[in-house]
Amino acid sequence: MPSGKILSVTNLTVSFDGFKALDSLDFFVQENELRVVIGPNGAGKTTLLDLICGKTKPTSGSIEFKGQELTGMIDYQITRAGIGRKFQTPSIYQDLTVYDNLEISFPEKRSVYGSLFFKSTPEISDKINVVAQQIFLADQLLTKAGMLSHGQKQWLEIGLCLMQDPELLLLDEPVAGMSAREREQTADLLMDVSKGRSLVLIEHDMAFVEKIAHTVTVLHQGKLLAEGSMQAVQDDERVIDVYLGG
Amino acid sequence: MTNHVVSGAAGNGQVGRRAALANFIDRSGLVILAILILVVLPAFLSMFRLGLAAKYLSFAFPAVGIVLIWGYGGILSLGQAAFFGLGSYMMAMFLKLEGAANPNSSSGTELATFFGTKGLPDFMAWNSVESLPWWWEPFHYAWFTIPAILIIPPLVAFAIGYVNFKKRVSGVYFAIVTLAISAIMMIVIIGNQGLTGGVNGINDFKTFMGMDLDSDRAKMVMYFITAILLLLAVMMGTFILRSRAGRVLVAIRDLEDRSRFSGYDPAMFKAFIFAVAALFSSIGGAMFSIQWGLASPALVGIVPSIEMVIYAAVGGRLSLIGAVYGAFLVGYAKTVFSENFVEYWIYFIGGLFIVIVMFLPKGLAGLVENLRGDGGRQ
């Protein structure tokens, strides 16, 4: 399945007032890979995603996406290059309907001029319907996003990313606050979504991780602690010490 | 665009009479407004009262712009009077120079010829300014003045807006930046009496492109031009809000950070809508100068900027059409109050703002919504 690197993070360091949230990290993701990043609080997981998508600027190091250096690019340019981001707390447009949330995420006509004269097409509304079906919100298209339940908001944000058709999708705790049933649905959704693109996922729920991960990366204090299959990582002494607990 | 119509119409199960009325007002708002200002007011108002109405309509332009930037863009600007002033002063400069060539104006008498100040605005002569400053020169020409009114204020607004929004200056901080713009503009005008007319402003215009501004016919023509331009501004605003750009603005207002990761450059959208609001303000200022015969520093500073925000708040900050009624009602109230209780006007307008914010957060437009009884739809 893996067929070459889509993302190469090398020697990446970011310090906030002298505190190194990430310390000379190397991190590679293959095409079509579903990678899960785990680690204790403060390990630098969210910071890593923030750096990749341009929300935070690195102190030093390099992030290459399909051979393109991202560190000098602005957040929305990185998005347009094909990286989607789902945040930890559901970030959706409360005052717009589910339909409009999905529609403005369609990756076309994103300039002022383009958006003024944007006309929806049958292909776009088809795509919106397909995505809405995927994220279990097909019957909520006209609901204001602010009225959705917490789990539905999480799904909608995944939907916003799917509309963008990113080649690399970064997800920060997508099942946080979900019921057991919703977690299951989300696991299926993510496995479905991962076909034809790469996913990097932060998660604490080990049962969930076990179900979906190809490879697991363990971060600790801004450094790589271990990397490998779920089984290998679970058996790793150091990982048990700092994270999984004895 | 079509989807919005669908989402608006859907979900109204039983349509009561009040809801039907609300829907009628919603759908026909622009037509009702057009009939009011194009037919009803000219038919029933005396020439004097129509002149007052023209003044209120001039102030409706910045109010409509404030709905766009504040209501939909989430940007509170206390600088709209500065853009109003730019339009107002540019038009006044043109009118003044035209007047200076007119023997009946105070700048164009034989006395002026005698003193060698012919062709110079009267206030310059009084201030011993001997030749016209270079930046006044192009305002001899309508072909320069009118495009300048339409282009310069939006360009200035775009530049200021983009630089600030790119640096992520927003909220209260941006409001303070715009407040400073208003203050600076007023101080510069007052401080350069010889070049700008100072605290007296620029007044005493006679003609506009040869048309006698004191004639009833000219007043009528200017009133209708103002009314039609205002309707066009409301239509342009409606077009923007119904386009995808309108939804993007709401998205940015909601969650600016997320919009970046939907691939949008929020600074560009915010600067754009700020420029549109500046355009509207400038047109309003220009029409004010022609009809009221005055460009004044009192209409450029912080207080008029705040008054303009109040027009929009009274009308409903999410309603372009509401802003016109807001400007009209507050303007009318101001006339009545300042005629009778001059010193209390400022307290009245402050009180009005508090009452609106507390009891009618959606302004007059909120009353229409209450008719429908759902309160939730914008």
Residue of A50, A115, A126, A162 to mutate, interface with B, max B Cβ within 10 Å: A115
User: What one-character DSSP code corresponds to residue B294?
Assistant: E
Nearest to B251 among A76, A96, A112 (CB): A96
Q: What is the pLDDT of residue A231?
A: 87
- Which range has the top average pLDDT, A231-235, B178-182, B347-351? B178-182
Chain length of chain A: 246
**Average pLDDT across chain B, whole number:** 88
3-state secondary structure chain A: CCCCEEEEEEEEEEEECCEEEEEEEEEEEECCCEEEEECCCCCCHHHHHHHHHCCCCCCEEEEEECCEECCCCCHHHHHHHCEEEECCCCCCCCCCEHHHHHHHCCCCCCCHHHHHCCCCCHHHHHHHHHHHHHCCCHHHCCCEHHHCCHHHHHHHHHHHHHHCCCCEEEEECCCCCCCHHHHHHHHHHHHHHCCCCEEEEECCCHHHHHHHCCEEEEEECCEEEEEECHHHHHHCHHHHHHHHCC
Per-residue pLDDT tens over the stretch B158-190: 999 999 999 999 889 999 999 999 999 999 999
Nearest to A53 among B247, B261, B264 (CB): B261
Residue pairs spanning A and B at CB distance below 8 A: 95
Report the alpha-carbon distance of residue B321 to residue B314 in Å, rounded: 11
CA distances to A225, A243, B73, B187 from B182, in Å:
57, 57, 20, 9
Residues of A in contact with B10 (CB under 8 A): 142
Per-residue pLDDT tens over the stretch A128-144: 999 999 999 999 999 99
Which whole number is the average pLDDT over A185-198? 91
The count of C-alpha atoms lying within 13 angstroms of the C-alpha of B5, restricted to the half-sphere facing its C-beta, is: 4
Domain span holding position A170 = 5-244
Give the SS3 label for residue B202: strand
Q: What is the pLDDT of residue B213?
A: 87
The fraction of chain B above a pLDDT of 70, given in percent, is: 91
- What residues of chain B, 11 to 30, have a C-beta less than 8 Å from chain A? 11
B357 and B3 Cβ atoms separated by less than 8 Å: no
Report the alpha-carbon distance of residue B296 to residue B123 in Å, rounded: 13
Report the alpha-carbon distance of residue B69 to residue B269 in Å, rounded: 10
Q: What is the CATH number of the domain that holds A199?
A: 3.40.50.300
ipTM of the complex: 0.91
Per-residue pLDDT tens over the stretch B219-248: 999 999 999 999 999 999 999 999 999 999
Which whole number is the average pLDDT over B40-54? 92
> Nearest CA to CA, how far is B335 from chain A (Å)?
38
The pTM assigned to this predicted structure is 0.91
Which whole number is the average pLDDT over B307-317? 92
Report the alpha-carbon distance of residue A202 to residue B123 in Å, rounded: 71
Rounded to the nearest angstrom, the gap between the alpha carbon of residue B172 and the centroid of all alpha carbons in its chain is: 22
Which whole number is the average pLDDT over B27-50? 92
Backbone torsions φ then ψ of A164, nearest 5 degrees:
-75, -10
Query: pLDDT higher for B370 or B9?
Result: B370
B298: tokens are 């009192």
Report the alpha-carbon distance of residue B334 to residue B320 in Å, rounded: 21
- What residues of chain A, 172 to 211, have a C-beta less than 8 Å from chain B? none
At B366, is the pLDDT very low, low, confident or very high (cuts 50, 70, 90)? confident
Give the SS3 label for residue B192: coil
Report the alpha-carbon distance of residue B65 to residue B86 in Å, rounded: 15
Report the alpha-carbon distance of residue B316 to residue B68 in Å, rounded: 11
Residues of B in contact with A154 (CB under 8 A): none
Q: What is the pLDDT of residue A3?
A: 55
Written as one letter, the residue type at B341 is F
User: What one-character DSSP code corresponds to residue B378?
Assistant: -
Residues of B in contact with A54 (CB under 8 A): 260
Is the CA virtual torsion B306, B310, B313, B317 positive or negative? negative
Do A107 and B263 make contact, defined as CB atoms within 8 angstroms? Answer: yes
Residue B2 in this model has a pLDDT that exceeds 70: no
Per-residue pLDDT tens over the stretch A81-126: 999 999 998 899 999 999 999 999 999 889 999 999 998 899 999 9
Residue-range domain boundaries for chain B: 52-372
Q: CB neighbours of B357 closer than 8 A, spacing ≥ 6?
A: B313
A8-22, B117-131, B150-164, B167-181: lowest mean pLDDT where? B117-131
Residue B374 in this model has a pLDDT that exceeds 70: no
Do A112 and B257 make contact, defined as CB atoms within 8 angstroms? Answer: no
Do A115 and B253 make contact, defined as CB atoms within 8 angstroms? Answer: no
Residues of B in contact with A80 (CB under 8 A): 263
Q: CB neighbours of B309 closer than 8 A, spacing ≥ 6?
A: B66, B70, B76, B77, B78, B80
Q: Confirm or reject contact between B343 and chain A (CB < 8 A).
A: no
Written as one letter, the residue type at A103 is E
Nearest to B260 among A79, A95, A109 (CB): A79
Written as one letter, the residue type at B30 is L
Report the alpha-carbon distance of residue B247 to residue B241 in Å, rounded: 7
A33-42, B140-149, B171-180, B345-354: lowest mean pLDDT where? B345-354
Q: What is the pLDDT of residue B109?
A: 67
Per-residue pLDDT tens over the stretch A45-90: 999 999 999 999 999 999 999 989 999 999 999 999 999 999 998 8
Query: pLDDT higher for A95 or B126?
Result: A95
Nearest to A110 among B254, B263, B378 (CB): B263
Written as one letter, the residue type at B108 is G
Q: What is the pLDDT of residue B17?
A: 79
B229 and B60 Cβ atoms separated by less than 8 Å: no
**Taking CA atoms, what residue in A is nearest to B238?**
A116
Q: What is the pLDDT of residue B110?
A: 65
B306: tokens are 């705040």
Residue B269 in this model has a pLDDT that exceeds 60: yes
Q: Confirm or reject contact between B263 and chain A (CB < 8 A).
A: yes
Residue B12 in this model has a pLDDT that exceeds 70: no
CA angle B79, B80, B85 (to 5 degrees): 100
- Among B177, B175, B159, CA closest to B75: B175
Residue B5 in this model has a pLDDT that exceeds 50: no
Q: Confirm or reject contact between B7 and chain A (CB < 8 A).
A: yes
Q: Confirm or reject contact between A107 and chain B (CB < 8 A).
A: yes
Helices (H), chain B: 2-9, 17-35, 41-44, 47-66, 80-100, 110-115, 122-126, 142-166, 171-191, 193-196, 216-242, 244-254, 256-260, 266-292, 302-315, 320-340, 345-359, 363-372
Beta bridge partners of A29: A7
At B111, is the pLDDT very low, low, confident or very high (cuts 50, 70, 90)? low
Report the alpha-carbon distance of residue B183 to residue A170 in Å, rounded: 46
Which whole number is the average pLDDT over B207-227? 91
Residue B125 in this model has a pLDDT that exceeds 90: no
How many structural domains are present in chain A? 1
